[in-house]
Amino acid sequence: MKSLVIAAFALAGATLHYSAIAPTGYIVGDKANDFSLKNVDGKMVSLSDYKDVKGYIVVFTCNHCPYAQLYEQRIIDLHNKYNSRGFPVIAINPNSPAIVEEDSYEEMQKRARQKHYPFAYLFDEDQTVYPQFGATRTPHVFVLDSARVVRYIGAIDDNPELPSMAKNHWVESAVDAMLRGEKPINEFTRAIGCTIKKKP
């Protein structure tokens, strides 16, 4: 498993050109549509609910995926580091519980309580939001600016198993650049994780 993960991320190390793939959702420079999804506290949440932000770290993730679990603390850390600086994490579970029971809304609520999520954890129950973004994996990150323009798409970093050994912290680098008023150096990396589970 470890060698496969390392090999996969070696392929992701360089910024990829869009001409090499056929995007099915947003690409860097697109403006993301707002959405309204149910949070684990039962309230509906939209991007427009976040006032006076400088941007958003939208993470498609879930309960069951081993990659999502490996990155769980790093997603919490991203929110804790950047929320006060105007970049909150907004986590979205895109999976159908008809395929994976562990990703049901009730299980989302349990996990959010157990792990003390400091961010919104939303359920894309009708699976309408993740196709707009073009998310394909869990986790899959989209960093947006305050106008909801996509500035970075891809992985959190280049080492799922050992955070301390990661050499490229792509999301942090993207947000730091945006806070300086600059464009991220790496705008696109290949997301590595479990495939999103579509409802039958």
The total number of structural domains in the chain stands at 1
Residue bearing tokens 């001409």: 19
55 within some domain: yes
Task: Let me know: does 36 contact 46? Beta carbons within 8 Å.
Answer: yes
89 within some domain: yes
Output the pLDDT for position 9: 41
CA distance 35 to 47: 7
* 152: enclosing H helix or E strand: strand 150-154
Output the pLDDT for position 76: 98
Its pTM stands at 0.89
Tens-level pLDDT at each residue, the chain (200 residues): 444 443 444 333 333 333 333 458 999 999 999 999 999 999 999 999 999 999 999 999 999 999 999 999 999 999 999 999 999 999 999 999 999 999 999 999 999 999 999 999 999 999 999 999 999 999 999 999 999 999 999 999 999 999 999 999 999 999 999 999 999 999 999 999 999 999 98
102 within some domain: yes
145 within some domain: yes
Buried b (16+ CB within 10 A) or exposed e, 84-110: eebbbbbbbbbbbbeebeebbeebbbe
Output the pLDDT for position 200: 87
Q: For 117, list phi and psi in degrees, rounded to 5.
A: -60, 130
CB-CB neighbours of 17 under 10 Å? 8
200 within some domain: no
CA distance 48 to 95: 24
Residue bearing tokens 């792990």: 115
Query: Environment class of residue 69 by beta-carbon count within 10 Å: exposed (0-12), middle (13-18) or buried (19+)?
Result: middle
97 within some domain: yes
Domain that holds residue 38: 2-195
63, amino acid identity: N
Task: Let me know: does 170 contact 152? Beta carbons within 8 Å.
Answer: yes
149 within some domain: yes
The CATH code of the domain that includes 81 is 3.40.30.10
Structure tokens given for 124: 């894309």
Output the pLDDT for position 22: 43
Output the pLDDT for position 4: 41
Q: For 195, list phi and psi in degrees, rounded to 5.
A: -70, 150
40 within some domain: yes
